[in-house]
Chain A
Amino acid sequence: MSDATLPVVDAESQPASRLTRWRGLRLSTGARCASPVALFMALGFLAPLITVIGFAFATPRTFAVFKSFTLQNFAEIFDPADTVWMSFAWSLALAFATVVVLLVICYPIAYGLVRVFGRWSALISIAFVFPLFISENVRLYGWTLFFINHGVLDGLLQEIGLSAPDVLFSPAITLFGMVYTYLSFMLFPMTLGLSMVPGDLIEAARDFGASRLMIWREIELPLAMPGILIGALLTFVLAAGAVAEAKILGGQSVIMISHDIEIAFTYSQNWPRGSALAVLLMIVIAGLSMTLMARLDLDRILGRR
């Protein structure tokens, strides 16, 4: 093709208003380069999310997504005869308990990794990371074998004439499983947070006569708070959606909300109900997270003002 075939357009000859509008719509080089990724994200992230939201308002037990609109799925969920609120309550309560237990367990470990263990810190960190390379289900089945009747614990205790406590298939063991599974997700952000506390500042406070409690409360905790908060939030969000611990270790002694969503999509074949539950879970988690973040003024914690 020769250039002669192309129409020659003289930009100067275009009306000024059209040219200005065109310039206004032009994307910057960075935006244009990012557009394939943005498109990919829109397709891969937003499309399924919008579909789930669409299904939540579809006629129950149909596939009429974007073709029907009803609030019936939500009405059924909020019907007092429907006990699904119990699943929400268990999921949120166990997620909250997991965060509290992990805050208590992880703080001393994180402190040790940053200030005590020295050159052993890396090795200890690897010990905490290593289980993550093994499937969560396999690890939980491992714990079942440990706690089960005539299992590892029971067998060992029988050697000394004792028997293992009956802990399996209970809400308490579900909480244990969740604490075990999400430990790393709390520990490492917390460790990062504590490592951001300057040692000089603590020494200075000590030189000025601050007690250990005062140093912890006035310096260490506020400065490590971004890491602690991120760890708590990450753990809470993951734990609220947990299901394997209640199924494998807990023997479904409690039904978690993710399990209810799974049942709606499988045995019930009620995708609109499953989607409505998923939307509600997203709203509850996002609402709680945003309320927490708003109250805790991250900017101040991060020292930006």
Chain B
Amino acid sequence: MTHFNRRDALKILGAGALATSGALAFPGAAFAARDKEMNILCWEGYNSAQVLDPFREKEGATVKAESLTNDPTMINRLRSGEIKVWDLINVNNPWARKIMYPEKLIKPLPKDVFMPFFDKMLPQFHPPYKWAMSDDGSELLGMTQRFGPYSFVVNTKKISRKTAEETGWDLFNDPSLAGKYGILESDDWNVFNIFLVAGIDPFKTHTPEEMKTFSDTALKVFKGARVIGDIATMNQALVSGEIDLHLTGGTYSVSPARADGFPEMRAITPLKGPMNGKGGVSWIEVTSTVNNPNLSPLAVEFLKYVQDPKVAHTVAFAEGTFNPVAQMGNKACFDLFTKDELDAIQWDSLEEEMARSVEYDIVPDYEKALDLMNNAKRQRS
């Protein structure tokens, strides 16, 4: 057995302090070691062991992933100086093209390597895919994978799919449904949806009158909600009968309940709405390489790795939520999905629901709308 005396302990402490100060004094030395490490800032799923462990083994690398559940937080993590920390960022479609690339938070991908992958994706992603490209179309800014319609969810045993699709957002204006619906805690999406319940297109600059209507609608919708909570809470409340429907929801949120044997819970995309006639909103994730001064070479390798049909299927059914992936355009990937898995992600109506949806965009007066919505939320007590 080794015995340590006080002098040994001091030596170890001294060595530790020296090592720490050395790393701080010579960041170049730390930079050099990055070929075996990579950090991902992402929505849940990409941080799961099913997705990351095979990559870790293949590359013999240390891969760290942090999962967050809203885009603005992730973008501001980069803005606040964390571009030196992260190698990949996975957010919804508008951010790469409209915000992150103009602000130099991300860097383009080599087109010759990655453009061919888009040829094998579902038709709507064929190149040049708008949200993966820079505004002028010259640069490839990220890779697409998961996507889905995201409007609201109903228990079709209580409200039929036909009624829900035809009535659309007006369901939440119906006084007889007060106390029977929930609101998913997803505030950026709730801003879109309160606008839609008010019959206003969210993705434009709003007049004071429209903002007043938004505020009044927010007060009414939040007052009438039985519960506000996360995805687990919404699904649990739907299954137990506490609520019949919930606002902000789609295949992303309801697929776990459907996969668990509750196919009557269904994501709904309204047939019509105030966005040039469309009533639904969809999302498409774009994963980009961060403008890290010492970007890990594994970042690009990881983006290639998740294009593999088997890995793409794993990403689609990673823990937490289940979603369609763009790689389902490749037969080798599509064939990996079982009938139950296709049912869980509502493959039967996916195409028509995406067609009835506008793609997630940035609300120009989001901050003001969010403040009004938070005021309304507090007044529900």
Task: List chain A positions with a Cβ less than 8 A from chain B.
Answer: 61, 63, 81-84, 86-87, 90, 141, 144-145, 148-151, 168-169, 171, 247-248, 251-255, 260, 263, 265-271
The chain A residue with its CB closest to the CB of B227 is A251
Contacting residues, chain B, for A81 (C-beta < 8 A)? 375
Inter-chain contact A253/B236, CB cutoff 8 Å: no
Distance (whole angstroms) from the CB of B372 to the closest CB of chain A: 10
Contact sample, A vs B, 19 pairs, CB 8 Å cutoff: A61-B367, A63-B79, A81-B375, A83-B378, A145-B236, A148-B242, A247-B185, A251-B226, A252-B228, A252-B377, A255-B378, A260-B374, A260-B378, A263-B374, A267-B72, A267-B73, A267-B188, A267-B370, A268-B374
Inter-chain contact B378/A169, CB cutoff 8 Å: no
Inter-chain contact B187/A263, CB cutoff 8 Å: yes
Inter-chain contact A251/B72, CB cutoff 8 Å: no
Contacting residues, chain B, for A265 (C-beta < 8 A)? 73
How far is A271 from B77 in the complex, measured between Cα atoms in Å?
Answer: 11
How far is A267 from B187 in the complex, measured between Cα atoms in Å?
Answer: 6
Inter-chain contact A148/B378, CB cutoff 8 Å: no
Asked if B371 lies at the interface with its beta carbon under 8 angstroms from chain A, I say yes
What per-residue 1/0 map shows which CB atoms of B201-234 lie under 8 Å from chain A?
A: 0000000000000000000000000111100110
The chain A residue with its CB closest to the CB of B191 is A267
Of B70, B182, B371, B379, which is in contact with the most chain A CB atoms at under 10 Å from its CB? Answer: B371
Inter-chain contact B370/A144, CB cutoff 8 Å: no
List 10 other contacts, CB 8 Å, given A87-B378, A252-B185, A263-B187.
Answer: A63-B76, A145-B236, A148-B236, A148-B240, A150-B240, A171-B381, A253-B380, A266-B73, A267-B73, A269-B76
How far is A82 from B73 in the complex, measured between Cα atoms in Å?
Answer: 23
The chain B residue with its CB closest to the CB of A168 is B242
Inter-chain contact B240/A269, CB cutoff 8 Å: no
Contacting residues, chain A, for B226 (C-beta < 8 A)? 169, 251
Complex partner residue of A63 from B75, B80, B187, B236, CB under 8 angstroms: B80
Rank and list the top 5 A-B pairs by shortest CB-CB distance, nearest first.
Answer: A251-B227, A252-B228, A267-B187, A254-B381, A149-B240
The chain A residue with its CB closest to the CB of B232 is A141
Asked if B241 lies at the interface with its beta carbon under 8 angstroms from chain A, I say yes
Contacting residues, chain A, for B381 (C-beta < 8 A)? 86, 90, 171, 253-255
Task: List chain B positions with a Cβ less than 8 A from chain A.
Answer: 70, 72-73, 75-76, 79-80, 182, 185, 187-188, 226-229, 232-233, 236-237, 240-242, 367, 370-371, 374-375, 377-381
Given A168-B242, A253-B381, also A248-B70 (CB < 8 A)? no
Contacting residues, chain B, for A268 (C-beta < 8 A)? 367, 370-371, 374
Distance (whole angstroms) from the CB of A261 to the closest CB of chain B: 12
How far is A151 from B241 in the complex, measured between Cα atoms in Å?
Answer: 11
How far is A271 from B72 in the complex, measured between Cα atoms in Å?
Answer: 12
Contacting residues, chain B, for A86 (C-beta < 8 A)? 378-379, 381
Distance (whole angstroms) from the CB of A253 to the closest CB of chain B: 6
How far is A268 from B378 in the complex, measured between Cα atoms in Å?
Answer: 15
Contacting residues, chain B, for A254 (C-beta < 8 A)? 381
Contacting residues, chain A, for B229 (C-beta < 8 A)? 247-248, 251-252
How far is A90 from B378 in the complex, measured between Cα atoms in Å?
Answer: 10
Distance (whole angstroms) from the CB of B94 to the closest CB of chain A: 15
How far is A84 from B182 in the complex, measured between Cα atoms in Å?
Answer: 22
Distance (whole angstroms) from the CB of A192 to the closest CB of chain B: 35
Inter-chain contact B378/A84, CB cutoff 8 Å: yes
The chain A residue with its CB closest to the CB of B72 is A269
Complex partner residue of B227 from A151, A252, A269, CB under 8 angstroms: A252
How far is A265 from B375 in the complex, measured between Cα atoms in Å?
Answer: 16
How far is A251 from B230 in the complex, measured between Cα atoms in Å?
Answer: 9
Contacting residues, chain A, for B367 (C-beta < 8 A)? 61, 268, 270
Given A63-B80, A86-B379, A251-B229, also A149-B242 (CB < 8 A)? yes
The chain A residue with its CB closest to the CB of B237 is A148
The chain A residue with its CB closest to the CB of B228 is A252
Contacting residues, chain B, for A270 (C-beta < 8 A)? 367
How far is A81 from B187 in the complex, measured between Cα atoms in Å?
Answer: 20
Distance (whole angstroms) from the CB of B265 to the closest CB of chain A: 15
Distance (whole angstroms) from the CB of B305 to the closest CB of chain A: 30
Distance (whole angstroms) from the CB of A205 to the closest CB of chain B: 48
Inter-chain contact A83/B240, CB cutoff 8 Å: no
Contacting residues, chain A, for B374 (C-beta < 8 A)? 255, 260, 263, 268
Complex partner residue of A82 from B72, B232, B375, CB under 8 angstroms: B375
How far is A144 from B237 in the complex, measured between Cα atoms in Å?
Answer: 10
The chain A residue with its CB closest to the CB of B81 is A63
Complex partner residue of A266 from B70, B80, B371, B378, CB under 8 angstroms: B70
Distance (whole angstroms) from the CB of B240 to the closest CB of chain A: 4
